[in-house]
């Protein structure tokens, strides 16, 4: 599956562009307010519970779409840095673990056109920002000018190669780096976390009070060891450590 992520500040034309792209490609569209409005119906915006629920809905949707091999999905959202950087990384991991790929498209326009666009009647349908004062407040509050950079996860092979050239043993937090040639990694199984998050969504949609649900910490961690890399570095991994590994790459 190809996930096309159209992002930018409020009012730059993300939904308009997504609709046109959906007609041209036949891809389904999952726009920002489908998850935004669901989360806002439960929690105040902006708040940590609101952000967690909204991101969970999005990540579960991406995983399902990629797993079922949809040809493509178009997603729109207002990317603000650094608040959304961790979400972008998790989104990338979820899609790529299911064999999908991502394309990021940033939209922007000059300030005069921007302020004119937020006044259109069509924006009122989804409870969007519809006046210049609110737009200026949002632009001052969050940084929408950054370009999404999946620098580390997308360029993990280059990072792994760089440390390999220096013959440095490395410990990573994501298994993708070890699979790319890093020595070892240890961290939460994010796929398991996303699946468990779906249980929260299910309970809330069935009427549970979100404030009564317990906050869970990761319970499934994974250790991945790359023996091929260890051999190249002249290192011997203790058998006791290998016995504890969830995956050993040979």
Q: pLDDT per residue over 163-174, tens digit each?
A: 888 788 888 878
Whether pLDDT at 122 is above 70: no
pLDDT bracket for residue 53 (50, 70, 90): very high
Q: Do 20 and 90 lie in a common domain?
A: yes
Whether pLDDT at 151 is above 60: no
Q: Do 216 and 99 lie in a common domain?
A: no
The upper half-sphere exposure of residue 68, i.e. CA atoms within 13 Å in the direction of its Cβ, equals: 9
- Identify the domain containing residue 232 by its residue range: 155-249
Angle formed by the axes of helices 85-97 and 190-205, nearest 10° = 100
Q: Which residues pair with 74 in a beta bridge?
A: 4, 29
- Whether residue 82 is preceded by a cis peptide bond, meaning omega within 30 degrees of 0, is yes
Residue 154: its pLDDT value, please? 61
Task: Yes or no: say if 118 and 8 are a contact pair by the CB < 8 Å rule.
Answer: no
pLDDT bracket for residue 160 (50, 70, 90): confident
- Comparing 67-71, 80-84, 128-132, which segment has the lowest mean pLDDT? 128-132
Q: Which of 137, 152, 167 is the last residue of a domain?
A: 152
Q: Do 18 and 139 lie in a common domain?
A: yes
Rounded Cα distance, 118 and 113, in Å: 9
Q: Do 142 and 176 lie in a common domain?
A: no
Q: Do 159 and 146 lie in a common domain?
A: no
Instruction: Look up residue 39 and give its two tokens.
Output: 């989360």
The total number of structural domains that make up the chain:
2
Q: Which of 127, 152, 177 is the last residue of a domain?
A: 152
Q: Do 96 and 118 lie in a common domain?
A: yes
pLDDT digits (tens, 9 = 90+) for 70-111: 999 999 988 887 788 888 888 998 999 898 988 888 888 777
Q: Which of 152, 183, 214 is the last residue of a domain?
A: 152
pLDDT digits (tens, 9 = 90+) for 239-248: 999 999 999 9
pLDDT bracket for residue 37 (50, 70, 90): confident
Q: Do 204 and 109 lie in a common domain?
A: no
Instruction: Look up residue 250 and give its two tokens.
Output: 């040979």
H helix intervals, the chain: 14-25, 32-42, 48-67, 85-97, 111-117, 132-141, 151-154, 156-165, 175-179, 190-205, 227-232, 239-244
Instruction: Look up residue 88 and give its two tokens.
Output: 């972008």
Q: Do 160 and 195 lie in a common domain?
A: yes
Q: Do 244 and 228 lie in a common domain?
A: yes
- Comparing 62-66, 108-112, 151-155, which segment has the lowest mean pLDDT? 151-155
pLDDT digits (tens, 9 = 90+) for 198-215: 777 778 788 888 778 787
Q: Do 160 and 145 lie in a common domain?
A: no
CATH number for the domain spanning 105: value is 3.40.50.300
Residue 153: its pLDDT value, please? 62
Q: Do 147 and 186 lie in a common domain?
A: no
The gap between the terminal CA atoms of the chain, to the nearest Å, is 29
Mean pLDDT of 126-136: 72
Residue 140: its pLDDT value, please? 81
Mean pLDDT of 28-54: 89
Rounded Cα distance, 85 and 161, in Å: 24
Q: Do 161 and 208 lie in a common domain?
A: yes
């Amino acid at each position: 599956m190809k996930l096309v992520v159209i992002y930018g500040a409020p009012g730059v034309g993300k939904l308009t562009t997504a609709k046109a792209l959906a007609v041209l490609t036949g891809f389904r569209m999952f726009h920002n307010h489908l998850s935004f409005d669901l989360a806002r119906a439960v929690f105040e915006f902006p708040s940590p519970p609101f952000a967690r629920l909204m991101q969970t809905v999005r990540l579960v949707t991406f995983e399902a779409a990629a797993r079922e091999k949809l040809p493509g999905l178009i997603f729109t959202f207002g990317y603000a840095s650094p608040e959304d950087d961790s979400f972008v990384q998790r989104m990338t991991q979820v899609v790529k673990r299911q064999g999908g790929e991502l394309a990021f498209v940033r939209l922007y326009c000059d300030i005069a056109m921007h302020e004119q666009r937020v006044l259109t009647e069509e924006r009122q349908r989804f409870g969007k920002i519809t006046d210049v004062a609110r737009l200026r407040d949002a632009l001052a509050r969050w940084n929408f000018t950054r370009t999404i950079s999946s620098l580390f996860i997308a360029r993990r092979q280059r990072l792994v190669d760089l440390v390999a050239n220096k013959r440095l043993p490395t410990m990573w937090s994501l298994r993708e780096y070890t699979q790319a040639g890093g020595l070892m990694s240890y961290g939460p199984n994010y796929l398991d976390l996303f699946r468990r998050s779906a249980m929260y969504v299910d309970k809330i949609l069935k009427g549970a009070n979100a404030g009564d649900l317990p906050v869970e910490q990761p319970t499934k961690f994974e250790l991945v060891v790359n023996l091929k890399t260890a051999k190249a570095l002249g290192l011997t991994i203790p058998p006791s450590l290998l016995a504890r590994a969830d995956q050993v790459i040979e």
